[in-house]
A and B are shown apart, each in its own frame.
Chain A
């Protein structure tokens, strides 16, 4: 059954049809929420809230855009609202404690783990909108026009957000490298002395 038929049946209150749509998009929605809120449990809640909101308001979907775009827009708004409320109520987030399910892989090298830690720490420095743009651009391969449809704003704004995000990441990662280079000789010296 095509996506259009599933959406039409879900609009008539067909729950199994909507659950078929859920199974189709749940991974992408969850990964996007993970990237934006940087918390696996919260990302799971965001994904579920996204599908709940979509089911409640699916009769308002008028096929003026793709269902996927509409769904991602809901997910992004949910994540933004969550981050806003967390900022308002002062719940601190430690980016290095991002606990993504399935992260612990014993065969993973230490270097890769260190790179991942640095990357997540750098991503945490970015505003939520830039994180969302990075995810949509680099993971889903959307064009700036498509990103602007999902996030709102213009294609030019999406491009500026993407370029700014990449430059911020580069700057932070280079700072981390310099810091490590500065620390390593000290440790080797101390190791040699001992």
Chain B
């Protein structure tokens, strides 16, 4: 192939009525006048195009299109019905909501299980459990003198706290007065109360109300519980009313 033909032949499919620029149209036309090889090439290409255009796809006929439209109508109606149904509520929420909820759950679980699984907190728990195991033995030790001092305690199975705080009954009026004094005083902090209830025998460092202990309302090693219900459990209704009156007069 000569070099002018190599330039012209790629443009031959567009020559007769294609999208060639006027410049190339003039060059192809001039070249075709003097090159029989390119003229033959152009004839063959035109023959191919003619053959293609002479063989259009025949129309399948009205029956085919009727069936086509019926099938398509059914499919479109199904799609239309599916589109008009409201989407489930959960499906409309953005996906990151589920992710955030899952993350919050994981964080809550980690916070809940963290102190129990961390190695630093284990000794504390063990210490608390040990104290809880030691406490009942000491309570019984404390209860013995209180039971000895109070043989007529008729309360059925008083809790250990009540047994600890029950003073020897000197007199009903004095007892109510002492209780009123005790309840009117600001109570100890929660930590002190916890220490009392869990480890009654290990409170050497804790401050003690020595004045009440000096009055003989309870033993020196015992420490009063600040649970009002436990304190007034063994009082008669008259004594409770008297105690209430005294407390209200101090307010």
| Residues of A that sit less than 8 Å from B by CB | 13, 15, 18-19, 22-23, 26-27, 30-31, 34-35, 40, 44, 47-48, 51-52, 55-56, 100-103, 105, 115-116, 119, 134, 138-139, 143-144, 159, 162-163, 166-167, 169-170, 173-174
Instruction: Say whether A159 contacts B48, CB under 8 Å.
Output: no
Given known A18-B76, A56-B79, contact A119–B60 (CB-CB < 8 A):
no
- Segment at the A interface, from B65-73, B178-186, B240-248: B65-73
Task: Jot down 15 A-B pairs with beta carbons below 8 A, ordered by A.
Answer: A15-B80, A22-B72, A23-B69, A48-B68, A51-B72, A100-B60, A101-B61, A101-B64, A119-B51, A138-B49, A143-B19, A144-B19, A170-B45, A170-B48, A173-B51
Instruction: Say whether B13 contacts A166, CB under 8 Å.
Output: yes
Q: How far is the CB of B24 from chain A (nearest CB, A)?
A: 12
Q: Which residue of B has the minimal Cβ distance to A101?
A: B60
Instruction: Say whether A26 contacts B49, CB under 8 Å.
Output: no
Given known A119-B51, A119-B55, contact A52–B19 (CB-CB < 8 A):
no
Q: Does B77 contact A (CB under 8 A)?
A: yes
Docked Cα-Cα span, A134 to B75, in Å, equals 31
Chain A residues within 8 Å of B45, by CB: 166-167, 170
Chain B residues within 8 Å of A44, by CB: 64, 68
Given known A103-B58, A163-B14, contact A13–B52 (CB-CB < 8 A):
no
Q: Does B171 contact A (CB under 8 A)?
A: no
Instruction: Say whether B55 contacts A116, CB under 8 Å.
Output: yes
Docked Cα-Cα span, A159 to B15, in Å, equals 12
Chain B residues within 8 Å of A52, by CB: 72, 75-76, 79
Instruction: Say whether B84 contacts A163, CB under 8 Å.
Output: no
